Amino acid sequence: MTHPIAITNARLLTLAHGGTPRRGKAMQKLAPIEQATIIVRNGKIEALGNAIDIPDDTQHIDAQGRVVMPAFVDCHTHACWAGERLDEWEQKQNGATYLEILESGGGIMSTVRAVRKASTDQLTESLLERLNWMLEEGTTACEVKSGYGLSTEDELKMLDAIVLADQNWIGRVSPTACIGHAKDSEVPDFVDRTINETLPAVHERYPGVTIDAYTEQGAWSVDETVRLFQAAKELEHPLRIHADQFNAMGMLEAAKELGALSVDHLEATTPESLKALAQSETMGVMLPCSGFHVDDRYGDGRAFIDASGALAIATNVNPGSAPCLSMPMAIALATRKLGINAAEAITAATINGAHLLGFSDQGTLEVGQRADLIMLRHRDERQLGYTFGGSHVQIVICNGSIVA
């Protein structure tokens, strides 16, 4: 049983909504309550609003007008990996191209080799270190993908590590089997093996886990991805897809037809396809940290929201294209590069990400919701979009306990 906590004199961003992801203009509605009190007990929000009586047994925190809001939900990460790629980063700074690094044995395959050498315990330990760093930045729930194993044994090892980390972290982790992440060039029938061997093995150990793939030139083609997804759908696995990062290959249309939960990246999506996606039930996820680190290309968040889309943003933390664990940084980039405002970015980083991951009891501040919330150093939430660098988060409460 956790000690009850009362935060008073807060600018409370409740994001109270109707239990569904926010779309279009509704993404600007943060439902604030001024000079408010919120009480959490036994991991849940017990009361909130004005003129709330504070029980004698609570730990009292005076927010002094600071913003209190739902904790961040990072709905797209590759936070489970081994090894580092700092040498490759220096090579890139010295003029080497991505293709040159890849041809010399670097790039994603260097991470694959490191993951294959690592034990489950080593992967779990390194993931927990990153999760705790994310916690300090205000993230209490996230998705973590496999995808650096590229073999049945190693993909299962990654998923085991992700599940173990979830069991040993105070926050929540939603695992995703990204078994269509890349191709092992040394395995000529890699796609067939993934569909006929890896997918059934994942299904046996983790039935119902979300299946993901990366559709791009040099990775999985649309036809190959559709084959994988049709097989996964027959086994009743939810689907997510990386698409249109560098090239629009037609995967968005297939993703909608297959009922994918989300399409992630969207930097190269045409205006027509972006509008069609916005008007579907499939959520769009944009990853501004990747554009910042790789090539300064970004999805058109403004057009997507204006077309009534449900947008989420995430860090996409990974050792290659987005070495960033900070959702506040993702928000700051989103307001600069995706064309959206701070309120929309906050919605995309909380309630919409929570719904995408199936955490419907998170992402809003309402009575009965899980007590995952943060107190900012700021008295105006727009500072999250305006100020970048440094620490925005003063207090993190996860499952009713102060953890940072």
Determine the average pLDDT of the residues in 20-45: 97
Q: pLDDT over 70 for what percent of the chain?
A: 99
SS3 290: helix
- Average pLDDT for 303-322: 98
Which two tokens mark 285? 């996820």
Per-residue model confidence as pLDDT tens digits over 66-117: 999 999 999 999 999 999 999 999 998 999 887 688 777 788 999 999 999 9
Rounded to 10 deg, the angle between the 342-349 and 327-337 helix axes is: 140
Helices and strands, number each (H, E), in the chain: 16, 16
Q: pLDDT tens for residues 369-397?
A: 999 999 999 999 999 999 999 899 999 99
241-267 mean pLDDT: 97
**Residue 259 confidence (pLDDT) above 70:** yes
- Domain layout of the chain by residue ranges: 5-71+361-402, 73-356
**Mean per-residue pLDDT for 206-216?**
98
Specify burial of residue 189 (Cβ count, 10 A radius: 0-12, 13-18, 19+): exposed
Q: How far apart are the first and last CA of the chain?
A: 18
User: Residues near 43 by Cβ (< 8 Å), separated by ≥ 6?
Assistant: 2, 370, 371, 399, 400, 401
pTM recorded for the entire structure: 0.97
User: Is residue 1 over pLDDT 90?
Assistant: no
Asked whether 135 and 328 are in contact (CB, 8 A), the reply is no
Distance between CA 310 and CA 353 in Å, rounded?
A: 10
Q: pLDDT band for position 155 (50/70/90)?
A: very high
For residue 43, the one-letter residue type is: G
Contact 198, 163 (CB under 8 A): no
Tokens 């730990």, residue located: 59
Say what the pLDDT of residue 17 is: 78
What interhelical angle do 120-136 and 152-167 show, nearest 10? Answer: 50
Q: Which 3 state secondary structure label does DSSP give 303?
A: helix
So what's the pLDDT on residue 67? 99
pLDDT of residue 279: 98
Alpha carbon distance 33, 56 (integer Å): 23
Is the four-CA dihedral 60, 63, 69, 71 of positive or negative sign?
Answer: negative
d(CA 245, CA 231): 24
The single-letter code of the amino acid at 323 is: P
- At residue 120, the pLDDT reads 99
Question: CATH homologous superfamily of domain 5-71+361-402?
Answer: Urease, subunit C, domain 1 (2.30.40.10)
Q: Over the chain, what is the mean pLDDT? A: 97
| Interval 270-296: pLDDT, tens | 999 999 999 999 999 999 999 999 999
Q: Are strands 44-49 and 32-41 parallel, antiparallel or unpaired?
A: antiparallel
**In terms of CATH, what superfamily is 73-356?**
Metal-dependent hydrolases (3.20.20.140)
